[in-house]
Amino acid sequence: MPEPTIFELSSPGRTGVTFPTSDVPESPLPVDFLRSDLPLPEMSEVDVVRHFTRLSKLNYSIDQGIYPLGSCTMKYNPRVNEMVARFSGFTQTHPLQPLETVQGNLYLMYLLQEWLKEIGGFAGVTLQPAAGAQGELTGILIMRAYHVDRGDTRRTRILIPDSAHGTNPASSAMSGYEVINIPTDPRGNIDLNFLQSVCDDRVAGIMITNPNTLGLFDQNIIPVIQAVHRVGGLVYGDGANLNALLGIARPGDLGIDIMHFNLHKTFATPHGGGGPGSGPVGVAASLVDFLPGPIVSMVEEGDEDIPPFFGFVQPAKSIGRVKSFFGHFGMMVRAFTYIAMHGPEGLRKVAENAVLNANYLLARLRNTYHVPYDRICMHEFVLEGRWKEVPEIIALDISKRLMDYGIHPPTNYFPLIVHDALMIEPTETESKDSLDYFVDAMEKIAFEARTHPEWLKEAPHQTPVRRVDEVKAAKELVLCCQPIDRE
Amino acid sequence: MNTPADLRYTRTDEWVKVEGNIATIGVTDYAQDALSDVVFFEAVVSVGDEIRAGDHIATLESVKAAAEVNSPVTGKVVAINENLASSPELVNSDPYGAAWMLKVELSDPSETAKLLAPEEYDQYCQTRSH
């Protein structure tokens, strides 16, 4: 690494701040809590600032260029969101404060719940889950609680299409369900015949990602949902790809019973180093009683003279709490701001432009790269990162070479149903100029693959760290942030 | 792609070698190529376990993906390749030899007749390459 760790930079005795003489009586810490073996780095303030500034220059972020990481919706995070999140009314409050002193915070959470219900077509929303995968786990626990509450304990299976997000089978397995894999048909939709053959009263539900990880709107979505509902199962929608549908179609209206929202994707809160995420879950009316609690609610309506009073309520059959306090409040403020700044028409334009941008890239790249499921795409699409005439080049080489052009690589090797998949999601925030720059780089790389394959094999050449040894990284884990004793 | 003629295959990319009533199981050359560098192997069954065709018997992880290995046959596990956990890269270098995963005592040797013949498996792999 061109930059040492902060522990390696440490020098005994250096300090960043000098405290004034205490003007209150000293109260020593209990002896039991004192440790002498605490190897914290010792540095001056300027050295800390320089260390992290250097690290930030080694990083790549959406503020530097296009970040077409498929299924991650790496859109630009507007500065106004950050400004609002820094209002002292938000930053100087604590979740344990008396309710009457944080009514503004609660009102924001209440309105965000209402807006997400409206956007997704749901009857209830919890803001607690910390991110998408925890939203999925929450949704599956709600699904189980619903069946068990009805005395329906035979259901042990969850159906997962092979074009779903990779976290879906993990969430199901973690909840103790058996995962049944559903294949994709030649058009890139859920294989309806196969689905119908496994729909029986052992099915707790299905987890659908729509648009799926091929970036295609599943044309079988209505019959799929009907088939699962007919046997008493519930339908979970993975909201990670909601950016394609905003203001155009509502998952709840399609018949989806449970869905998580990724505030850090669709609603532009920072992620990928800038996190944390936030994964609110919306549910249909039949599931509202099972939501995690407590949930912000208008506990007194108020009138002309008295404002409404907001507090917390516990849903009647709640699965309980899934997150300490009330979730990632700072992300809620940013998502609230994003939705407020766009309004309903603006949100619809987000989806329209995200889909337009992806289709523009697909149209321009189709002749250079093979598109295995080639039809009008939604907000993303999947190319094959390989050519028959240069068999030694794989998707990873193309991605590494893109870094030399100052572009973040797309998602590699997912979905698994496409060989050497390159999953590309430009998002709506890229201009035609930056999309053209991306296409030019992809075309140059396709040319280089034929003329100078070693340029791809040895890429990246221009980054602070060259090609990393992925096998070594996976096999020799170093779960330690302190320098390793190399003696 | 290498598809030895003396083995039987599954649509989930396992191979089976039958000697008497003992079946040796591993994953195919096609599978190791699709996975790329394998970095982790773990058998999820133990010697003595009764397993059925289709049961999850081992987990593989590569730098690209995680994959389940399913048993092509029904019977009792009589051996597990202890080398693979420490040297999972054998799956890439010698998928049909040193990277055998399990040996199973078949409860019904005729069951293997239902598995794919080498040419059927080759054909199946062709259809998957879009």
Contact A165, A209 (CB under 8 A): yes
**Residue among A284, A292, A296 nearest A319 (CA):** A292
Domain containing B81 equals 8-128
Q: Which two tokens stand for residue A36?
A: 């002498």
Is the predicted pLDDT of residue A307 greater than 90, yes or no? yes
Cβ of residue A255 closer than 8 Å to a chain B Cβ: no
pLDDT at A487: 47
Residue A58 carries which DSSP code? H
Is the per-residue pLDDT at A430 higher than 70? yes
How far B115 CA lies from chain A's nearest CA (Å)?
A: 20
Residue B37 token pair = 């560098």
CB contact under 8 A, A413 and B64: yes
User: Domain of B41: which CATH number?
Assistant: 2.40.50.100
For chain A, give the mean pLDDT.
Answer: 94
- The reply to whether B116 falls in a domain is yes
Tell me if A128 sits within 8 A of A138, measured CB to CB. Answer: yes
Q: B85 to chain A: nearest residue by CA?
A: A475
Q: At CA A473, angle to CA A472 and CA A478, rounded to 5?
A: 110
pLDDT given at position B63: 87
Alpha-carbon gap, residue A314 to A293, rounded angstroms: 5
Q: How do strand B102-106 and strand B22-27 relate by DSSP bridges?
A: antiparallel
Instruction: Copy the structure tokens of residue B21.
Output: 């009533």
Residue A179, chain B, CB below 8 Å: the answer is: no
**Residue A275: pLDDT above 80?**
no
- Please check whether residue B122 touches A, CB under 8 A: no
Bridging pattern class, strands A178-182 and A203-209? unpaired
The reply to whether residue B37 touches residue A372, judged by beta carbons under 8 angstroms, is no
Chain B residues closer than 8 Å to A423 by CB: none
Residue A142's nearest CA partner among A296, A259, A262 is A259
Q: Is B89 on the interface with A (CB under 8 A)?
A: yes
Q: Are B65 and A474 a contacting pair at CB < 8 A?
A: no
Residue A253, CA distances (Å) to A118, A123, A210, A222 in order: 11, 11, 13, 10
Alpha-carbon distance A371 to A421, whole Å?
10
Taking the CA of residue B63 and the nearest CA in chain A, the distance in Å comes to 6
Report the percent of chain A where pLDDT is more than 90. 85
Over 90: is that where the pLDDT of A131 sits? yes
Residues of B in contact with A384 (CB under 8 A): 130
| Section A86-93 average pLDDT | 96
Beta strands in A352-428 (DSSP E): 381-384, 411-412, 421-424
What value of ipTM does the predicted structure carry? Answer: 0.75
Q: Where are the beta strands (DSSP E) in A279-429?
A: 281-283, 295-300, 309-313, 381-384, 411-412, 421-424
CA distances from B38 to A137, B31, B44, B86, B88 (A): 29, 10, 17, 11, 6
Q: Is A6 an 8 Å CB contact of chain B?
A: no
More confident residue, A487 or A408: A408
How many angstroms separate the CA atoms of A363 and A379, rounded?
13
**Would you list the DSSP string of A99-150?**
GGG-HHHHHHHHHHHHHHHHHHT-SEEE---SSHHHHHHHHHHHHHHHHHHT
> B39: distance to nearest CA of chain A, Å?
6
What does the domain layout of chain A look like in residue ranges?
81-340
Most B CBs within 10 Å: which of A384, A475, A476, A477, as the mutation test of the B interface? Answer: A475
- The answer on pLDDT for A18 being more than 80 is yes
3-state secondary structure at position B8? strand
Mean pLDDT of A343-371: 98
Residue B47 lies in a domain: yes
**Chain A: residue whose CA lies nearest to B67:** A416
| Interface contacts A/B by beta carbons within 8 Å | 26
CATH number for the domain whose boundaries are A81-340: 3.40.640.10
**Strand-pair category, A203-209 with A234-239:** parallel
- In angstroms, the separation between the Cα of residue B58 and the nearest Cα of chain A is 16
pLDDT in tens, A67-89: 999 999 999 999 999 999 999 99
User: CA-CA distance, A350 to A341, in Å (whole number)?
Assistant: 12
Cis peptide bond N-terminal to A20, omega within 30: no
Spatial CB neighbours of A249, under 8 Å, sequence gap ≥ 6: none
Contact B130 A474 (CB under 8 A): no
Radius of gyration of chain A (CA): 25
B63: chain A residues, CB-CB within 8 Å: 470-471, 474
Q: Is A476 on the interface with B (CB under 8 A)?
A: no
Q: What pLDDT shows up at residue A1?
A: 58
Shortest CA gap A84–chain B (Å): 40
pTM: predicted TM-score of the whole model, two decimal places: 0.89
Structural domains counted in chain B: 1
Q: How distant, in Å, are the alpha carbons of A116, A239, A385 from that of A412?
A: 31, 21, 9
Residue type, A27: S
How far apart, in whole angstroms, are the C-alpha atoms of residue A336 and residue A350? Answer: 16
Whether chain B has a CB inside 8 Å of the CB on A349: the answer is no
Q: Taking residues A176-195, report their average pLDDT.
A: 95
- For an interface test with B, which of A383, A471, A476 has the most B Cβ atoms less than 10 Å from its Cβ? A471
Euclidean distance between CA atoms B19 and B103, whole angstroms? 10
- Chain B, 14 to 43: residues with Cβ < 8 Å from chain A are 34, 36-37, 39-40
Q: Mutate which of B13, B30, B36, B70 to disrupt the A interface (most A C-beta within 10 Å)?
A: B36
B chain contacts of residue A394, beta-carbon cutoff 8 Å: 36
Residue B70 lies in a domain: yes
Crossing angle between the packed helical segments A329-365 and A432-451, to the nearest 10 degrees: 60
CA-nearest residue to A469 within chain B is B63
Give the tens place of pLDDT for each residue, B27-50: 999 999 989 899 999 999 999 999
Distance CA B97, CA B81 (A): 11
Query: Are B65 and A470 in contact (CB < 8 Å)?
Result: no
Contact (CB, 8 A) for A381 and A418: no
- Alpha-carbon dihedral sign for residues A249, A254, A255, A256: negative
Q: In angstroms, rounded to a whole number, what is the distance separating the alpha carbons of residues A294 and A313?
A: 5
Instruction: Give the whole-angstrom CA distance, residue A257 versus residue A195.
Output: 18
Instruction: Round to whole Å and give the CA distance between B57 and B72.
Output: 10
| pLDDT band at residue A485 under the 50/70/90 scheme | low
